[in-house]
């Protein structure tokens, strides 16, 4: 038996993915082309732009969620940091894998309070809330301090323009062999350039079209 294929996880995930698919946002349709570009490139407007998209779930795909579950199980990971909780779909996959590994801790980060409340509820409904700490506020501040001494996996899935900055904050705590999974990585040229040019310390590959998967070599 595993959490991924058991109740209540299965039916909860089906319901949440359906809800995510159905969610709409009048704000995104009203965005100018400059605002659309700023969503992935601006290091100053991200709080305002993402706040306008608070009704959108923007989750990882089911395949990426299952890949996260696999990676956490296969590596026996116990300590995970996540940039970008939203309504908690990726967090659910990670926490399910931690449960099946025998325990652990996810530190996730989200600044939109309404999303945090719903993510917390989803984690409670799945019986996984005890494994997760959601840090409220800008991850550029909340992930700057009080990180565990040794981190097994980092998921980058918040504002695209900040992937490189968040990676730099967390990197000193990544253990040798730690994985970094960056979702929608093709939107993050600064991060891709950074992770792919540190060949002595990271091996990094594009994966499944929209993921960059990297391992810390030492």
Contacts with ligand SAM, residue ranges (CB under 6 A): 46, 50, 57-60, 84, 86-87, 89-90, 109-112, 115, 138-140, 157-159, 162
> Residue 184 — left, alpha, or beta (φ > 0 → left; ψ -120 to 50 → alpha)?
left
Per-residue burial over 59-74, b if 16 or more Cβ lie within 10 Å, else e, is bbbeebbebbbebbbe
Q: Which single residue is written with the structure tokens 């040229």?
A: 189
Nearer to ligand SAM, 142 or 214 (CB): 142
Instruction: Work out how close the CB of 58 gets to ligand SAM at its nearest, in angstroms, rounded to a whole number.
Output: 4
Instruction: Work out how close the CB of 80 gets to ligand SAM at its nearest, in angstroms, rounded to a whole number.
Output: 12
Nearer to ligand SAM, 122 or 204 (CB): 122
Nearer to ligand SAM, 54 or 73 (CB): 54
The Cα–Cα gap between 160 and 55 comes to: 18
Nearer to ligand SAM, 100 or 138 (CB): 138
Instruction: Work out how close the CB of 200 gets to ligand SAM at its nearest, in angstroms, rounded to a whole number.
Output: 29
Instruction: Work out how close the CB of 183 gets to ligand SAM at its nearest, in angstroms, rounded to a whole number.
Output: 7
Structure tokens at 188: 């993050």
Cis before 8? omega within 30:
yes
């Amino acid at each position: 038996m595993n959490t991924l294929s058991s109740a209540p996880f299965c039916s909860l995930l089906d319901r949440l993915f359906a809800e995510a698919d159905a969610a709409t946002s009048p704000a995104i349709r009203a965005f100018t082309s400059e605002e659309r570009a700023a969503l992935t490139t601006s290091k100053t407007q991200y709080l305002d732009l993402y706040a306008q998209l608070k009704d959108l779930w923007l989750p990882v795909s089911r395949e990426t969620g299952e890949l996260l579950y696999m990676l956490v199980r296969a590596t026996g990971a116990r300590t995970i940091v996540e940039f970008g909780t939203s309504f908690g779909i990726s967090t659910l996959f990670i926490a399910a894998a931690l449960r099946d590994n025998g325990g652990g801790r996810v530190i996730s980060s989200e600044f939109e309070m309404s999303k945090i409340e719903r993510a917390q509820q989803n984690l409670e409904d799945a019986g996984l809330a005890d494994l997760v700490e959601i840090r409220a506020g800008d991850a550029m501040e909340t992930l700057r301090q009080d990180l565990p001494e040794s981190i097994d996996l980092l998921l980058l899935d918040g504002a695209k323009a900040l992937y490189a900055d968040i990676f730099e904050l967390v990197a000193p705590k990544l253990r040798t062999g730690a994985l970094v999974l960056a979702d929608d990585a093709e939107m993050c040229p600064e991060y891709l350039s950074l992770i792919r040019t540190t060949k002595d310390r990271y091996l990094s590959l594009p994966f499944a079209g929209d993921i960059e998967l990297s391992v810390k070599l030492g």
